[in-house]
Amino acid sequence: MNNPPDTAPIERETEHYAPQGHDVSKHVRGYLIVGGMLLFFTALTVFLSYVNFGTEKANVAVAVVVATIKAGLVAYIFMHLSAEKKLIYRILIFTGIFVLGLFWLTYLSWYDPIVR
Amino acid sequence: MEIPYTVTARPDTGLWNAKVGIWLFLASEVMLFGGLFSAYIFLRLDAQPGYWPHGLLNVPVGTFNTAILIVSSVTVVLAWAALKMRQFVRYKVYMALTILCGIVFLVVKLGYEWPQKYDHFGAYIKPSALEKYEKYLGNKHLLAEGLAPRLEITGHLHNREALHDPNIKDYEVALDPVYTDPTNPQMDRPHFLYVPPTDKIGVIEKADVERATMFIPTHNTYFASYFTITGLHGLHVLAGVLVFIYMWLPASTRLYRQNPEHLANRVEVAGLFWHFVDLVWIFVFPLFYLL
């Protein structure tokens, strides 16, 4: 990672790619299945929102869990995070830490022990 | 000068450059939307009972738009897969479908949902006058049920000039169904299907009103966060559609002939952005429409 960027043009870069058509064709069916699952989870979350789980917090928790599953499917399958290079995971880990920090700051400002 | 590493991996990162670039951009987008969601949580947790509306938005329409975005996420990944398999005609078809889905989403949002809000009216009643409007609000019933009180009367404003004319002393409102039968237990929870305002007119004296506006961002913190987040999300959808249109135009044919893998990588990067936009909506939908 410490090398200076190599900006020299690469000769015949167009010829470097290896045709991956065969690999991709195996995944097409999977994409359709995931699309179907996402539609199913959408219907499920609408249905569950009309079920009374006792408290508003419980209903919020259920909806957020279903949304997280859906988001996970999109990220893992459609965004190819199931098989990505280490650098991308590193970027995302840092993003996760920072976004949690952001939510924590909000929590601190909401949970004011002097006023409450 | 040719930009390097558009197709082959850069040796030190192991990735072609645009892939790293888009993920760094998406990381910044996570922080942007994270901040807004964080504000949403803060405003919602701090809302006094009765000040955070439930069931105001049209759930079937929101569900339809969610499904449209999911379908577009599938079609864009199929467009990329078609390019990888060197099926250019299929790519063009899937890309056209993606563009169509994006446009449908925006038309529903900007042509139907938002205008419906601007046309809806709400008046928050002063605490001292709540008793006077009990026949519309049904707060004794809600108190007995342990539910949050109703502090606002909503519907279609008949005398719209009352918003600006100080000489008009009353708001005449075609009431939303809940205010015509407020003690009916079926009205305690939101309905799935949208029910338009009734033809029953409620008269609300301006002197009894804390604040009254159409459903615009300044109406309450709920609509402020709704318009901010869905507006920013809508801008992202628009940006995605414009990029996809560019990738559908003849320039894409030229690039495909010259270097199909380069086009596939461009589509993958734009697709990653599009999936992120879908991912944001996956959280927006339940938070604003369902909860």
User: What domains can you pick out in chain B, each with its CATH number?
Assistant: 17-118+220-290 (1.20.120.80), 121-214 (no CATH)
Contact B39 A106 (CB under 8 A): yes
Cα B206 vs. chain centroid, distance in angstroms? 31
- CA separation for the pair B282, B276 (Å, rounded): 10
pLDDT score, position B145: 86
- State the average pLDDT over residues B222-241: 96
Q: What is the pLDDT of residue A19?
A: 47
What pairing do the DSSP bridges indicate for beta strands B121-125 and B201-205? Answer: unpaired
Report d(CA B274, CA B259) in Å as an integer: 23
Mean pLDDT (whole number) for A63-76: 94
Burial B213-252 (b: 16+ CB within 10 A, else e): bbbebebbbbbbbbbebbeebbebbeebbebbeebbeeeb
B146 CB neighbours in chain A (<8 A) are: none
Whether A63 sits inside 8 A of B12 (CB atoms) is: no
pLDDT tens digit sequence for B233-250 = 999 999 999 999 999 999
Interface residue B191 vs chain A (CB under 8 A): no
User: Residue A112 — pLDDT band, cuts 50, 70, 90?
Assistant: confident
% of chain B with per-residue pLDDT over 90? 73
- Rounded distance between C-alpha atoms, residue B154 and residue B120, angstroms: 7
Is B44 buried (19+), middle (13-18) or exposed (0-12) by CB count in 10 A? middle
B101 pLDDT above the threshold of 60: yes
Q: How far apart are CA A61 and CA A56, in angstroms?
A: 9
Tens-digit pLDDT profile for residues B157-202: 999 999 999 999 999 999 999 999 888 888 887 778 888 888 999 9
Question: B18 to chain A: nearest residue by CA?
Answer: A88
Q: Which residue of B has its CA nearest to A69?
A: B282
Chain-centroid distance of CA B72 in Å reads 17
B81/B75 Cα distance (integer angstroms): 10
Considering only residues 241 to 270 of chain B, which have any Cβ-Cβ distance to chain A shorter than 8 Å? Answer: 258-259, 261-262
Residue of A nearest to B45 (CA): A110
What is chain A written as a DSSP string? --SPP--SPPTTGGGTPPP-HHHHHHHHHHHHHHHHHHHHHHHHHHHHHTS--SSHHHHHHHHHHHHHHHHHHIIIIIT-GGG--HHHHHHHHHHHHHHHHHHHHHHHHH--TTT-
User: Does the pLDDT at position A15 exceed 50?
Assistant: no
Residues of B in contact with A103 (CB under 8 A): 34, 38, 41
Higher pLDDT, A15 or A2: A2
B137 burial class (0-12, 13-18, 19+ CB within 10 angstroms)? buried
The chain B residue lying nearest A45, using CA atoms, is: B286
B283 CB within 8 Å of a chain A CB: yes
Percentage of chain B lying above the pLDDT 70 cut: 100
Residues 6+ apart with CB under 8 A from B172: B157, B158, B159, B162, B201, B202, B203
Mean pLDDT, chain B, integer: 92
Residue range B50-80, pLDDT digits in tens: 888 888 889 999 999 999 999 999 999 999 9
Identify the weakest region by mean pLDDT among A51-60, A62-71, B255-264: A51-60
Classified as helix, coil or strand, B84 is: helix
For residue B195, the distance in angstroms to the closest alpha carbon of chain A comes to 16
Find all residues with CB under 8 Å of B208, minimum gap 6, and list them.
Answer: B125, B126, B129, B132, B133
Lowest mean pLDDT among A83-87, A93-97, B25-29, B234-238: A83-87
Q: What's the whole-model pTM score?
A: 0.89
